[in-house]
Amino acid sequence: MHDLKSTRTANHILKEMEPYLSHFRDGENIYYLNKEGRERVNAKKVLKKTVQARHYIMRNSIYIAFGCPSTWKNEMKLEVPNKVKVISDALFMKNKVRHIVEVDHTQKMSKNRDKVERYRKLIELGVFDKQPKVIWITTTELRRKQLTDLCQGLDVQIFTVNDFH
């Protein structure tokens, strides 16, 4: 994304930024701004180690893969009052089509099934001008197959985390 050419270069830059960063391990080092880093860039929001880090990284993989769309919005509510409501992990527009992003990290498949049914209901109720494209990112090939089966009839694209390594 930043054309750093190599992992070694990226690690060198992160080493130079050490006074401004904290990190933890979750399969890889995950870096975030510490107090000094936030002050340096005038950031107001405090971000720290969270169990949702992997979820955010998976969502960000989709954001980067789709070219960092300017219309991207995280955690967006879609609803028809008193009928159906769903909160997507992210939404963005591309070629006049709404793209709905869903992250399946530690979710039970029954929860995913429920979410897919709520999207079907929104489509039935005419919430979208055109049928939306639902983009999933999941952890395994088995889960990709299960999601593919759940999403029959929808415009869907399903990735695994390995698609981005």
The phi and psi torsions of 103 (rounded to 5 degrees) equal -105, 120
135, 156 Cβ separation under 8 angstroms: yes
Mean pLDDT of 13-21: 92
Domain ranges of the chain: 7-49, 56-164
Residue 80 makes CB contacts below 8 A (sequence gap 6+) with 121, 122, 125, 127
* Residue 59 confidence (pLDDT) above 80: yes
What is the reported pLDDT for 84? 94
Domain 56-164 has CATH 1.10.3720.10: no
Tell me the pTM: 0.85
- Tell me the pLDDT band of 46, cut-offs 50, 70 and 90: confident
Q: How confident is the model at residue 51 (pLDDT cuts 50, 70, 90)?
A: confident
Q: For all residues of the chain together, what is the average pLDDT? A: 92
What average pLDDT does this structure show over 121-146?
A: 94
CB 77 within 8 A of CB 85: yes
Q: Residue 85 has what pLDDT?
A: 95
| Per-residue model confidence (pLDDT) at position 97 | 93
pLDDT, residue 115, reads 95
Question: Above pLDDT 70, what percent of the chain?
Answer: 99
Range name among 41-55, 89-103, 134-148 with the lowest pLDDT average: 41-55
Taking residues 11-25, report their average pLDDT. Answer: 90
Mean pLDDT of 79-84: 92
Q: What is the Cα–Cα distance from 54 to 126, expressed in whole angstroms?
A: 34
Eight-class DSSP state of 86: E
pLDDT at 1 over 80: no
- Position 116 scores a pLDDT of 96
